[in-house]
Amino acid sequence: MDRVGFIGLGIMGKPMAKNLVKAGYPLVVYDIVPGPVKELAAAGAKTASSPREVAQASDVIITMLPNSPHVREVVLGKNGILEGARSGQLYVDMSSIDPMVAREVEAEVKKKGVVMLDAPVSGGEPKAVDGTLAIMAGGPAAAFERVKPMLLKMGATAVLVGDIGSGNVAKLANQIVVALNIAAMSEALVLATKAGVDPEKVYQAIRVGLAGSTVLDAKAPMVLNRNFKPGFRIELHIKDLSNALAAAHAVGAPIPLTSQIMEIMQALKVDGREKEDHSSVVHFYEKLANVEVKKKA
């Protein structure tokens, strides 16, 4: 069984790493925040003092980091993965970053004989905890097959989309669809409320038809219950949409609706809602219509 290094034990990374420990993988972990490291150590993982040390102790290295600059720093920076890496290792970046950055990093690690996959995830913290994430990967097929059993300890599905960077293109496509679904739901439920129709009954009426979706079933009940505790924070969705816009501009693919939902989320950030769940998009529409979408008493 491959020795696994895991770097980045945040909201998503910590439960993902715990699922690998539960599955029996020999794990060594690192994070700049000591609390989660201690928690993983208590669960049975070994600890390291730097990304370099993680690489030296691992056959497969996984990172789950906030954004592109963090991946560059952890891989290419001082005491980074590349300083401790050796030929034949496999590096899997499960962060959601700019696909162009994934390709840049892959070009650098390749010089040392390290094979890289980008394998971002979808599903938020609840699915990270129960190991049912959707994982979308880019990179060599042989490398993907080697780690697929490991990925399926963290996710319910793992799909190889294409070459390096393709995983993040798929993730950005996912984030566009999710964001616009939430915006459409918000518009619809605000319309129902303003028209004097029970929004919960409207939700129940449309959820089994063509308008039904996983997003609708996950987010409409949150809005109706006025529960905006984050499963996926607005500030993180802003980050993903920023990467989507950058990638789209780089390849010449206009994405005007993405620009609109990005500005809506930016407005919510200005209102101090960036730490709320992205279902909080409904607040933007509620302010415009001067109504509140909620269950009837």
Cα gap 25→289, rounded to integer Å: 53
Kind of pairing between the strands at 90-93 and 27-30 = unpaired
Provide the token pair at 71.
């991946």
CA-CA-CA-CA dihedral for 174, 240, 61, 32, to nearest 10:
-150
Instruction: Name the catalytic one among 14, 127, 171, 219.
Output: 171
State yes or no: is 171 an active-site residue.
yes
Question: For residue 221, which of 282, 267, 265, 274 has the smallest C-alpha distance?
Answer: 282
- Asked whether 234 and 277 are in contact (CB, 8 A), the reply is yes
Phi-psi region of 82 (alpha: psi -120 to 50; beta: other; left: phi over 0): alpha
Cα gap 176→173, rounded to integer Å: 5
Angle at 180 between CA 283 and CA 278, to 5 degrees: 45
The amino acid occupying position 41 is A
Question: For residue 164, which of 77, 102, 239 has the smallest C-alpha distance?
Answer: 102
The H or E element spanning position 9 is: none
Terminal Cα-to-Cα distance of the chain (whole angstroms): 56
Between helix 99-110 and helix 166-194 the angle, nearest 10°, is 160
CA-CA-CA-CA dihedral for 38, 41, 47, 49, to nearest 10:
10
- Asked whether 241 and 261 are in contact (CB, 8 A), the reply is yes
The amino acid occupying position 111 is K
Question: For residue 271, which of 234, 242, 226, 240 has the smallest C-alpha distance?
Answer: 234
Q: Which are the catalytic amino acids?
A: 171
